Structure 1
Amino acid sequence: MINRKVSHLLLAPLLLVCEQAALADETEIELPSLSIEEDFQETLSGTEEQGYRAGSASAGVLGKLPLKDTPYSVNVTSSSLMKNIQAQSVSEALKYNPTVNSGYGGNTIGGGGAFQIRGFISENNESFIDGVRVYSRAPLEDKERIEVLNGSSSFLYGFANPAGIVNYTLKRPTAQPLASLTTGVYGGRQAYVHGDFGGPIDSENTFGYRLNVVKVSNGETAVNKQHHGRYLLSGALDWNISPDTRWSFDYSRFQADIDHGDDTFAVRNTVTSIPHAPDASKNYVPSYSVNRDGYRRYGMAFDSRLNDIFSIRSKLIYNRINTYRHRAENGIISNDGDYTMSRNYYESMKFNRAGNIFLDANIDTGLIAHVFTLGFSGEDTNTKYAYPYANKNITFPGINNLYHQDPYPVDVPDDTRGHAKRNTEKLRMTSTTLADRITFNEQWSAIIGISHITIVDRNKSYSNYLKTGTFTRRPKNDKERTTPSLALTYKPLSNLSLYASYIESLQKGDTAPSNAANADEVLSPYMSRQVEAGIKSTWGEMDLNVAAFRIKKRNAYTDLVTNIFKMDGQEIHNGLEVVATGKLTRNLTMTGGFTLMKAYIDKATDHALKDKTPQGVPEKIARLYSEYAVDQLPGLTLTGGLSYTGKIYVDSLNKLSIPSVFTGDIGARYKMSVAGKGITYRLTVSNLWDHDYWTTSGGSLSLGSPRNVALSATLDL
């Protein structure tokens, strides 16, 4: 639970609401954009007409900033692009971001929600919604955009993975009535319908709403006998108390079910060469392998310009996340594709309370302008497991083969499911930040900040509970640190920015994977450090961004001999990112680029790790997506994409690797008008050559998605 002082800080804006509401009765209220955002209002919002270019993005404690003035590498995927490529998962939405690589295939739990950013893993349970951590997978239909901030970002978000931040921005109420209905098939027999509605509620435009409703049928996907059903109910309400004050609310309920799915394979130490990937359209798990994920989220935000100097921003969320697994776990034991199967059975609940409050002050000192920000962020998370089950892990007899499958044995009956009531982890993290955005003149600006971060992490192990009836308290993982951040920006031209930045981050310890001998153990917190330099430029209607970086962090890996997940040495990642987005010509839109890295282990006590590439890290990534509007047939747009991922080592000693993979997609979009209503038809063929390939985040393998055909139609009412 967030402490009493924090609660007072978070509730303080409510007192201001009462005062503003009294004044609201005496004045005429309209529905404008908040004036506290007007300084940063950008005309580019990521529409297809704008070449999917975004003009601004969230920067955590600093609020919303123009991308050209942000001294960090940020890439934005808009809802328009997500809709046009018919993405149904986050991994699909980010598939053309050249700085991101999905560590899991699209057919795994969460739809491929774990990513490598700059070679580090960012799990879907470390994502953010509107700048607040949520610890759950995220549906796309109620999101306006996905913002990926690459690299260490503790200064901006309080406590962050050195990989970076995946921040989802919720769709907000619109000033004009909005209604659209989309229906289609994601592939196979997986039909869906999505309604998006919004607009003002009252004639004075004081209140606005947004409602997104989604239902995806439990029909078969492109993988044989696999089903991905889900639903979403998401609503948002804005109360525009005055032109300078807004109080916002949101609620969402989400549930996703994967039946007969999750094609993941652990790699046992008897394997000396990774077998080639089998047919990805086939199913490699028994029919009783099921996975359930869901959450209920409640959110509130308050923003107000108090006067010409001071502004206040605050958010508060509560998230209840449920996870259930009756899950097959395959383990490859030979170079010829032989594998064994066991069954893992558990249920967990996670209760997450988080909030922040920021006070901004615009103060000029002579010719130098300052925006000071004093901020506090806090979160409290409690994880509970229904553990242990009567039979948590069952190893089935016999050996199967990737290329010559035999029928699976029947499931073991009489397993008790129980309830998620045993506390396994209690985590509290707080961050207090002081930042100063300094503008010296039109060419030079800087950001200076300092954060004090505290992590209190308590863990329990129930591994011997069946024998002893007791649990074990694991060592405390507590740490606090004061970390600095510096950034300098120089704009020699209005369309060109040069920047350099330095950030230190305190990171929560990594969690051992489920197939490790110490599964679910949380390691000690550690520090990461990043130096970055970059160029941001605009040429015509194209944005070109280049960033070079160097990141250091503790190295965590699974020992192939002991199968224990532990830390040893440090990872050093040196890299270069190039990203371009926009319209090359009136008809041709392109987005993509590449990432080149040199990642290695240093200062390890185990000398066999020295200079090895960290497991699961792709050192070469290239992505390209393009659209061409056909003049000869107005309304028709041809689409296509290419993706390349270089060789990836599966193990820490670099003895096992999966080869590079190159895939392509094609599609088309056609717009027309019927009875004054706009209709858009979309066709997407992904993995055009039906290439079978492995993906990995290290230690285990997942199959990439097979060739898939998606169709949809959107009616704007």
Structure 2
Amino acid sequence: MPFDRRHAARRFIQPCCQGQQQSRLVSLFPVHPLAQIIAFLSGGFILSVSLPDPAIAQIVAQAPADSQTSTARQYYNIPAGPLASALRSLASSAGLLLTFTEDQISGKTTGGLRGQYTVQEALAHLLGNSGLQVTRLANGSYVVQKMSTIELSPANVTLPLMTVSAPTLKQGTAEEGYLVSNVSGVGLWDERSLRDTPYSISVVPSDLIENVNAQNMGQIFKMNPLTQEPMIQNQTGVPFVTIRGFQTITPIYDGIPLYSNGSAISVIEIDRVEILSGTSGFLYGGGRVGGAVNYVTKNSTDVPLRRLTFGNYGGTQFYGHADIGGKFDDRGRFGYRANLLYQGGDTAIGEPVNQKVANIVLDGHITDTLYANVKYTYNDYSKEATSPFIYMTERTSIDTSKRYTPKWASNDVESHKAYTSLRWDPSKHFTLRSAFFYQHTNMRVNQIFLNEQIDRTFIPRMTNVPWNKHENYGGYIYLDTRFSTFAVDHKLTLGYSSTFHEMFLRGINNVSRSGINLSLSEIKNMSEPDWGASFGSEPLASAWTVRNNNILIGDNITFNDQWSAMVGLNYATTMNLGYGFYGDGSKYEKSALSPTVSLLYKPIEAVTTYVSYMEALEAGTRVGNTYTNYGEVLPPLISKQYEVGLKYDINPNLLLSTALFRIEKANQFSDQATPIPTYVQDGLQVHNGVELVLTGKVTDNLTIMGGGTLMDINVEKANNPALEGKKPTNAASRMGKIYAEYALPWVPGLNLTGGIYYTGEKYGNTTNTDKIPSYTLYDIGARYTTRVLDKALTVRLNVINLTGKDYWQNDYTLGVPRTVAFSASMMF
């Protein structure tokens, strides 16, 4: 029978544990063979034992050499929160032998740690005024004690009843059930514990993205219980994600909001995706009523990384990906990371794709208190035979395994992104954080729109947008101050953030041509129309400018171990200016104060409950030239959200999150009048709902990411009585999803994977006469990890949409066909 460390640990420990009281995981050790045996017991719970002195001595004596060095300085980044979590993080980073009892640390918190410290300094800083101190034994191990306790020596130490756990090297790995304990930062709030953040957040780590062979983030959002499967925008590759019934089209890049046009993001530059479910106006400024998606990019690695991946995204789309990282110097102060991708071939339905990506990262600790990084990404993406937008009066079944467009219907994107950030910790009372982002993008697109006729033929409308230019700027600067008023601790943050996007077009922007009635099978043989000899030769001129500015103040208040609060104000300003198709050249500028307040209560250490309120400013629409009220600027919108939530660490590798919410938003839509409609702002759109997410390891071998969303969404108030009670478009009120991995205990290294994803029905128009059917998708896969020539090798196979289900992602976009993807990654 194959060796199983956890089962072996039970056999080793149970004979000396009969009748002992059960205890929670409270003590941390590095990955020593004996420590492994004791550590990996089921679910993080084991029988408490008093280990015999010889066994203790063996564990202590064989500690890694670097854990014996107390004078070496190392950079730590540990957020404020529970003392137990902070000690685990420190022990993981430093490779410590650290022992403490559950009674000692129960209910205690710490202000966190950031900067260069020796081990002794770091421990003392975390323990602070907790009434505890740490003693370093002659053998290099550490013991937490009450301050009145005399210093111990190896000869007279009797360790308390305890359990042990091997430290982890990285959050979000498959071995940890893809669970991430900290978020990188939410708006002006700095890095903090995911469980102690009063918002509904789901984190997708890079390990999961790689293990499902995701070509783009569409696959990940399809799997996530908080998001609908999105349409991937042809021009940029950015998903149009629907969260809590509202579409989010503007991504966040390392904490800086961007605009969808010109903001192409490749999966190989992503370290994790933090999905915030709910209104985020206070955090990021205008818009994002339903939620926000923060793409956190990769940094240098603490240990050398050399990995090559070869694979296929489906059809003949073969690719190669190199991921290289490490440190330049022995002290680990300066690091690097490089990700390179080349992809070419046809998709599963014969759409030619070519992509080249280069992502370079340099970062380091310039001094013990100053950290900086620089990131650059080049992305060259082209696709032919892009999927058409199909408008049908009836939702008849269309075979998604077929291609319906000619190859000349294509798009091209060339993008340069540069990002830099700086963090300065001059003292324990102050932190300065800043970042700046710039992106330059050139793109072009030929798009086909198909309008169904009574005889089930289609009249194609073809649009050509010649090469145009987009520029995105963004940045923030935040100052954190820490102080106490009587017994209340504060972390006050003052800051400013701004984003700017300008689009440059040629002349009249685009040319459209209409064709004759054709069947679907005939459309892919259409010839490219004559766009005009002079079309696209005009010089570039600014056509659309938009800017969002935010002046922010927030206070993270800790009353005691159980009660805390987060309050803030954002004076948000939104401005836009458009010409031609986008407006008459008049400037639109509105400002509003967006408040937020959250109250957190922890009845026990493993549970955090919260209530929160947040507002968001959203610019009123500048009506386009396809409506009777062309040029009109509708009033700005103020959206409000109320939320109650609970987060529970069922065990150290399993987190349950649930939330009740209500979002109120002014309604904007086309009244669909004939022959020319009017774009109106009419009534109040209300979304009430509940969501639940369970992420992590249910057992030693079973990992799941599952949950669901249930909403009551409708227009509650409207001047037009016909709209009251109607559902908003493209918003499913029911979703239920589960992704699971099972490690076969009798075949070491082999994991079976799969998922079931249900999305309820939705509507394609405001009158709810166009119903988009519900659908259920199935994925299966397998992953095998082994060693070849003493190098780690991982092979992955995934079948997406196993049954070949024909479905609609939204009112005009078809779903993803059955696709078989595979890859092999090897360290070198």
Kept in 2, the 8 Å contact 1:266–1:515? The answer is: no
Moved more, 109-118 or 525-534: 109-118
Checking the alignment, whether the CA contact within 8 Å between 1:34 and 1:243 is kept in structure 2 is no
Residue 535 (structure 1) shift? 0.7
Distance 1:177 1:406 in 2: 49
Correspondence for 1:255? 380
What secondary structure is seen at the aligned counterpart in 2 of 1:83? Answer: helix
Equivalent residue for 2:604? 493
**Matching residue of 1:141:** 268
The answer (yes or no) to whether the contact 2:608–2:648 under 8 Å persists in 1 is yes
Question: 2:326 & 2:342 partners in 1: Cα distance?
Answer: 22
Q: Which residue of 2 aligns with 1:508?
A: 619
Q: Does 1:198 align with 2:325?
A: yes
Structure 2 partner of 1:13: none
Equivalent position of 1:95 in the other structure: 222
Could you tell me which amino acid in structure 2 is paired with residue 702 of structure 1? T
Q: Shift of the alpha carbon at 1:487?
A: 0.3
Deviation per CA, 1:469-513: give whole Å up to 9, x if none: xxx625532110112110001100111111000001112345779
Change (3 A) 1:517 1:190: farther
- Matched residue of 1:695: which SS? coil
Match of 2:752 among 616, 619, 638: 638
Provide the secondary structure at the position in 2 that maps to 1:198. Answer: strand
2:152 is aligned with 1:33: no
Q: Is 1:392 the counterpart of 2:511 in the alignment?
A: yes
Q: Is the 8 A contact 1:589 1:628 kept in 2?
A: yes
- Tell me, yes or no, if the aligned pair for 1:108 and 1:263 is still in contact at 8 Å: no
Instruction: For residue 293 of structure 1, report the CA deviation from its aligned partner.
Output: 2.2
| Residue in structure 2 matching 1:214, options 330, 341, 346 | 341
Cα shift at 1:333: 3.1
TM-score when normalising by structure 2: 0.77
Contact between 2:440 and 2:471, CA under 8 Å: does it hold in 1?
yes
Offset, 1:107: 9.1
Residue in structure 2 matched with residue 131 of structure 1 by the alignment:
255
Question: Which runs of structure 2 are paired with 1:474-485 in the superposition (5 Å)?
Answer: 475-485=586-596
Residue aligning to 1:375: 495
Tell me the CA shift for residue 140 of structure 1.
0.9
Letter in 1 for 2:309: T
Q: Structure 1's 514 and 65: CA in aligned 2 closer, same or farther, altered over 3 A?
A: farther
1:535 aligns with 2:646: yes
Q: Following TM superposition, by how much is the alpha carbon of 1:410 offset from its aligned partner in structure 2, in angstroms?
A: 4.2
Query: Which structure has more strand as a fraction of its residues?
Result: 1
Compared CA separation, residues 250 and 477, structure 1 to 2 (3 A): same
Return the letter of the residue paired with 2:530.
V
Per the TM alignment, residue 228 of structure 1 is displaced from its structure 2 partner at its CA by 2.2
Determine if contact 1:641/1:664 at 8 Å carries over to the other structure: yes
Residue of 457, 480, 492 corresponding to 1:360: 480
- CA distance in 1 between counterparts of 2:228 and 2:216 reads 14
Q: Which of the residues 233, 238, 243 maps onto 1:117?
A: 243
Say if 1:630 and 1:420 are closer, same or farther in 2 by CA, change over 3 A.
farther
Task: Tell me how far apart the structure 1 counterparts of residues 76 and 357 of structure 2 sit (CA, whole Å).
Answer: 28
Q: Does residue 275 of the first structure (1) align with residue 395 of the second (2)?
A: yes
Determine if the alignment matches structure 1 residue 598 to structure 2 residue 712. Answer: yes
Q: Does the residue aligned with 1:49 lie in a helix, a strand or coil?
A: helix
Counterpart residue type for residue 496 of structure 1? V
Does 1:229 pair with 2:349?
Answer: no
Is 2:437 the partner of 1:317?
yes
Identify the range of structure 1 (615-624 vs 515-524) with the bigger mean alpha-carbon deviation: 515-524
Which amino acid in the other structure matches residue 677 of structure 1?
K
Structure 1 position 314, deviation (Å): 0.3
Counterpart in the other structure of 1:14: none
Distance in 2 (CA, whole Å) between partners of 1:283 and 1:634 is 41
Distance 1:485 1:653 in 2: 34
The alignment yields a C-alpha RMSD, in angstroms, of 2.4
Residues 354 and 575 of structure 1, relative CA distance in 2, 3 Å threshold: same
- Cα distance in 2 for partners of 1:32, 1:132 equals 25
Q: 1:511 to 1:175 in 2, by over 3 A?
A: farther
Distance 1:511 1:682 in 2: 48
Counterparts of 1:603 and 1:516 in 2: how far apart (Å)?
A: 23
The aligned residue for residue 454 of structure 1 is 573
* Secondary structure of the structure 2 residue equivalent to 1:95: helix
Q: Which amino acid aligns with 2:440?
A: R
Structure 2 SS opposite 1:166: strand
Q: CA deviation at 1:457?
A: 1.3
3-state SS of paired residue (1:188): coil
Alpha-carbon displacement from aligned partner over 1:626-661 (angstroms, at most 9, x marks no partner) = 001111111111000011111110000001111100
Q: Which residue pairs with 1:412 in the alignment? A: 530
Check the 8 A contact 2:79/2:193 in 1, yes or no. no
Query: What is the one-letter code of the residue matched to 1:128?
Result: I
Q: Aligned partners of 1:257 and 1:525: how far apart in 2?
A: 37
Among candidates 801, 812, 816, match of residue 701 of structure 1: 812
Shift of 1:340: 1.1
Match of 2:470 in 1: 350
AA of the residue aligned to 1:227: P
Identity of aligned residues (%): 32
Residues 1:93 and 1:511: Cα distance change in structure 2 (over 3 Å)? farther
Specify the SS of the correspondent of 1:101: coil
2 CA distance for matches of 1:582 and 1:702?
33
Find the partner of 1:305 among 385, 403, 425. Answer: 425
Match of 1:555 among 630, 653, 667: 667
Change (3 A) 1:103 1:674: closer
Q: Which amino acid aligns with 2:76?
A: S
Structure 1 position 53 matched with structure 2 position 53? no
Provide the secondary structure at the position in 2 that maps to 1:62.
coil
Residue 109 (structure 1) shift? 5.0
Q: Report the equivalent of 1:85.
A: 212
Deviation at 1:75, TM superposition (A): 0.4
Counterpart contact for 1:108–1:264, Cα < 8 Å: no
Aligned partners of 1:31 and 1:175 also within 8 Å: no
2:825 equivalent to 1:714: yes
Higher-Rg structure is 2
C-alpha distance after superposition, 1:653-684 (max 9, x if no partner): 00111110011000000111011100000000
Greater relative contact order (CA < 8 Å, ≥ 6 in sequence) = 1
* Displacement of 1:407: 3.6
Amino acid at match of 2:258: V
Query: Conserved in 1, the CA contact under 8 Å of 2:507 and 2:536?
Result: no
| Residue 664 (str. 1) matches residue 664 (str. 2) | no
Matching residue within 340, 344, 365 for 2:459: 340
Q: Does the 8 Å CA contact 2:488/2:558 hold for their aligned counterparts?
A: yes
Structure 2 partner of 1:6: none
Task: Verify: 1:648 aligned to 2:762, yes or no.
Answer: yes
The CA deviation at 1:49 is 0.6
Q: Give the Cα–Cα distance (whole angstroms) in 2 for the partners of residues 376 and 383 of structure 1.
A: 24
Contact 1:648 1:657 in 2 (8 A): yes
Whether the 8 Å CA contact 1:179–1:716 is kept in 2: the answer is: yes
Give per-residue Cα distances to partners, 1:149-199, cap 9 Å, x unaligned: 111112222334102110011110112111111111110000001111111
Match of 2:519 in 1: 401
State the partner residue of 1:152: 279
Offset of 1:420 from its aligned partner?
Answer: 6.5
Equivalent position of 2:724 in the other structure = 610
Q: Which AA in structure 1 matches 2:658?
A: V
- Decide whether the 8 Å contact of 2:229 with 2:241 is kept in 1: yes
- Corresponding position: 1:288 with 2:408: yes
* Separation in 1, partners of 2:788, 2:197: 43
Task: Decide which moves more: 280-289 or 307-316.
Answer: 280-289
Q: Give TM-score scaled by structure 1 length.
A: 0.88
Instruction: Give, in angstroms, the shift of residue 609 of structure 1.
Output: 1.2
Q: What residue in structure 2 maps to residue 581 of structure 1?
A: 695
Residue pair 2:503, 2:543 contacting (<8 A) in 1 also: yes
- Which one of 605, 610, 621 corresponds to residue 735 of structure 2? 621
CA contact (8 A) 1:277 1:703 kept: no
**Once the two structures are superposed, what CA deviation does each residue of 1:378-434 show, in whole Å capped at 9, x if it has no partner?**
122211112316x711112x2123477684244225442236722122222211111
| Preserved CA contact (<8 Å) 1:560 1:651 | no
Structure 2 match to 1:327: 447
